[in-house]
Structure 1
Amino acid sequence: MKVKGFKFKSLTIRIWATFTLIILIIICSISIIYLSVFRTIKEKDTMQDLKVAHSILLNANNFYGPENRFDELKNLKRSSNVIITIDSDNNVNVRNINKIGRPLDQQPVQGFPPELRVSEDSLGRWMAGFIKNDIVYQQQFKKSYNGKSVFFIVSSIKSTDTSDKIYLISYIPLSNIEDNSLLYMVIAIGIMFIVFGFIAAKIVAGYIAKPLKKLEDYSLRIAHKDWKEPIEIKNEDEIGRLAKAMNIMRTELKRADEEEKMFLQSISHDLKTPVMVIMSHAEAIIDGMYIDSVEKTADIIKNEAIALEKKIKQLLYLNTLDYVLENNSKASEINLYQLILYISNRFEIVNNKIKWDLDIKDAFIIGNAEKIQVAIENILENSLRYAEKKISVKLNVENSNVILEIYNDGPNIDEKHINNIFDNLYKDKTGNFGLGLAISKKIIDFYDGEIKAVNRDKGVSFIIKAPIS
């Protein structure tokens, strides 16, 4: 979290800031609701109660009877009732029903700040100025006087004793500090929560930070390839699941590190051997100590150089394959029937003692033709290396998948190693190191296919399953 370029590095401060922000949002929301809804509802209730009180007084036979207690009701606090008399010369006389005989010009009106010195006499005369008709009945007004809203109801009173116009006015100031008591209470509680929130944030942050600190130290250990012990966090929450994920990562990184070391050892041995043979025979030619003839020795050097070149190309191809597949692999529709026919015709001349049995049908997939050809060639080359008398290729469409099976009648693969033959580091029983099957699997996996090896009664089948186009 950043505030004006300042970054909160402390988890305690971040939790407290978040907590405070939530409290402030709640306070603002309640304030808006209070101002827009609660006050409106309260004003309606107050006006309705004042209207009922006004009706009761209006229907009473004696206005100046026992003192009424309307101002003791919750919604009618600070309310009052006055009689306005207007004579023929428009002189206004104000009398309070409950304050007969008291000088109203010296009586402050409740609901107005004392410093304003608002008297009931001046307020009554002000309200009388809104009476436009001689006869009115419960005419309602909501006006502002000295910055305060006043709600008042006016009704004319019939009198047979005088020609003066007489009116009953019931009024109540609507604006007062007590009206905001709920708002102030919410703000006060919010401030208390903000203060205590810091303590709560400190406790929560400490609870969260302790396992996170362990995870931080554990990450540094992994970064330095310290695989000795897994981290132990007993939480079942997100932090616990993170710890389990990091332990899984540790296992995978440890395995990858071991495989990398084995890979370097294996490939260095496989590259050293042909280089050593080439150097030995080259020195023999130079020293005149070669066996048989120069041509025979040169032929050996050539074959070893070809084998070395092949291994280097496979290494470079495998190393860049992921990038090539992701960025430079243009996919198109491939006719596997034609592709397999083309590849098998090329491979048949390699060993004329092997019988080829093709049972292939038209089938189409989406992919890069060059990469798919490499994948199939590697499998056929592997099968040709171990086949004794026969290689068969079957191509069918089942449901929405293409099934390609390449079989050779060579020796079975040890069951404990059959799932590892597609790994980069796999060596066969003769100790030979190869990357062809690993390349094939990576290509087939990229195009959402599957490949597996299955031992038969005699021989091995490589089965490729890929979605049709």
Structure 2
Amino acid sequence: MIKLKKVKFKSLTMRIWVTFTAIILIIILSISIIYLVVFRSTNEKYNLQLLKASHDTFKENNFNQLKGFDDVRNLHGSSHFIVNINSSNIINIQDFNKRGGPPGQPNMGFPPNSGITQDALQKWMVGFIENNNISENEFKESYHGRKFLFIISSVNNIDGTNGKSYLISYMPAMEDNTLLYMVIGIGIMFIVFGFIAAKLVASHIAKPLKVLEDYTVRIAHKDWKEPIQIKNEDEIGRLANSMNLMRTELKRADEEEKMFLQSISHDLKTPVMVIMSHAEAIIDGIYIDSIEKTAGIIRDEAVNLEKKIKQLLYLNTLDYVLENNSQVSKINLRQLLLYIINRFEVVNSKIYWDLDMEDCFIMGNSDKIQVSVENILENSLRYAKEKISVILKEENSSVVLEMYNDGPNIEEKHINHIFDNHYKDKTGNFGLGLAISKKIIDFYNGEIEAVNRDRGVSFIIKAPIA
């Protein structure tokens, strides 16, 4: 079985031209159908009416056709003859051309190889006489593959016998295809000129597209130097503006990623350096205080290093885990907070925990919600001086969770960036925990923000009520 492959044009010129050509061909086809179905039928009826008028006039004027009908273009192939049928059914045909009819009487002029002769054609038409009295019977019949229109009427006997006489007017159903040929010719001209127009249009469109293509390659190679300059106000101009916006966002993400990698490399390098130095001290027998204390320092730094690596891996896989392995259920947020706070209270017994919590329910994965809250409370516990407040309530069809600590305020230039994936200020105070919390809360259609108070900072989470 032969499979037809879809034709693909790589050239914009060919695509425009093929589309234009298809439209022209559809127009030509539509006009051709209208011509064949409507115009020919209408034209045939019109010619038959003209032939009938000529037939009546010819009969009323004693078989002398008026000159006015000689000039009618549609009747140039028409003719008339009389058929006399006597009492013995002998047929006698009187052709007005043979009898020396009026000058200018049209000649049928059939080609020699058409198989049509004047006498044979007239005898064929006589065969359609069926009744004695006929009143302008109209016929549309084909003879030797050619269609004829003819009218038969009874007339007064003109040969002096007791027979019957009939007047027959006829003409070939000429098909004037001038309009169709003109439409096809104009269509071909449009197709030829359309190729030239398509090339000009394609060149005009392709010029800014080529600029966009080069600009895309520059962005792919992280060349952020200059934005693209296209002043069009059309779709191409809007595409250029979108690409400039993309450039700005990619440049910002690239800079944040570099800053993040520098920060991560410093965070990972410091505990590794401490572990190596204390391990070498044990090997060399030179250590501070005791070998147990030195081993304890190595252990604490290893735990810290492990925590940072786990956070980094968790952040990098979080999107996939949330999308593909997240079991959503109804969570009593108050019970979850009490469980987390009970574990955090033993970390620093000097911190006072002020709790004001109602039973509130949200939808989400319990493990992921726990991670997001733990990261915020751990951050609060790190900077709190004396007090941490947790308020949980329902407000305006949302669950509102506020976690406050009385530590130092966050600088305004940093407060809007502390949840960014790769953000860290110069002191290294913001790590991956807050970025992980925001990503989880955003996934469950919640919101999180940090707000400076007169003394301290509040982290406020809003989530839909289950």
How far is the alpha carbon of 1:74 from its aligned partner? 5.5
Mapped to 2, the partners of 1:114 and 1:396 lie a distance apart of 107
1:12 aligned to 2:13? yes
1:386 aligned to 2:386? no
- The alignment partner of 1:425 has SS state of coil
1:403 aligned to 2:404? no
Mapped to 1, the partners of 2:122 and 2:285 lie a distance apart of 136
Gaps of 5+ in 2: none
Partner AA of 2:417 in structure 1: N
1:28 aligned to 2:29? yes
Partner AA of 1:411 in structure 2: P
**Residue of 127, 130, 136 corresponding to 1:129:** 127
Q: Deviations over 1:377-416 (max 9, x none)?
A: 2122222222222222233334443322222222221112
Mapped to 1, the partners of 2:358 and 2:53 lie a distance apart of 96
1:168 aligned to 2:175? no
**Residue of 357, 379, 403 corresponding to 1:360:** 357
1:190 aligned to 2:191? no
**Residue of 208, 213, 218 corresponding to 2:210:** 213
Quote the RMSD (CA, aligned, Å). Answer: 2.8
How far is the alpha carbon of 1:459 from its aligned partner? 2.0
For residues 212-291 of structure 1, the aligned pairs below 5 Å read 212-291=209-288
Gaps of 5+ in 1: none
Mapped to 2, the partners of 1:238 and 1:117 lie a distance apart of 66
The alignment-based identity, stated in percent, is 70
Mapped to 2, the partners of 1:4 and 1:430 lie a distance apart of 63
Residue 150 of structure 2 corresponds to which residue in structure 1?
152
How far is the alpha carbon of 1:369 from its aligned partner? 2.1
- The alignment partner of 2:412 has SS state of coil
Task: Flag the 1:406–1:166 CA change in 2: closer, same or farther, 3 A.
Answer: farther
The total of aligned residue pairs comes to: 460
Task: Flag the 1:138–1:405 CA change in 2: closer, same or farther, 3 A.
Answer: farther
Task: Flag the 1:132–1:430 CA change in 2: closer, same or farther, 3 A.
Answer: same
Q: Deviations over 1:181-201 (max 9, x none)?
A: 111111101111111122112
Greater CA deviation, 212-221 or 9-18? 9-18
1:421 aligned to 2:422? no
Task: Flag the 1:49–1:361 CA change in 2: closer, same or farther, 3 A.
Answer: farther
How far is the alpha carbon of 1:52 from its aligned partner? 4.8
Partner AA of 1:174 in structure 2: A
How far is the alpha carbon of 1:370 from its aligned partner? 1.7
Contact 1:92 1:125 in 2 (8 A): no
Mapped to 1, the partners of 2:298 and 2:263 lie a distance apart of 22
Mapped to 2, the partners of 1:299 and 1:452 lie a distance apart of 38
Partner AA of 1:170 in structure 2: S
Mapped to 1, the partners of 2:57 and 2:357 lie a distance apart of 104
Q: Deviations over 1:184-235 (max 9, x none)?
A: 1111011111111221122112111211222222222222222211121111
Contact 1:24 1:190 in 2 (8 A): yes
Mapped to 2, the partners of 1:33 and 1:308 lie a distance apart of 83
Mapped to 1, the partners of 2:173 and 2:101 lie a distance apart of 25
How far is the alpha carbon of 1:247 from its aligned partner? 1.6
Greater CA deviation, 305-314 or 324-333? 324-333
How far is the alpha carbon of 1:36 from its aligned partner? 2.4
Q: Deviations over 1:14-44 (max 9, x none)?
A: 3223322222222222222222233233333
Greater CA deviation, 23-32 or 8-17? 8-17
Mapped to 1, the partners of 2:453 and 2:95 lie a distance apart of 114
How far is the alpha carbon of 1:348 from its aligned partner? 2.6
Scaled by the length of structure 1, the TM-score of the pair is 0.89
Task: Flag the 1:135–1:248 CA change in 2: closer, same or farther, 3 A.
Answer: same
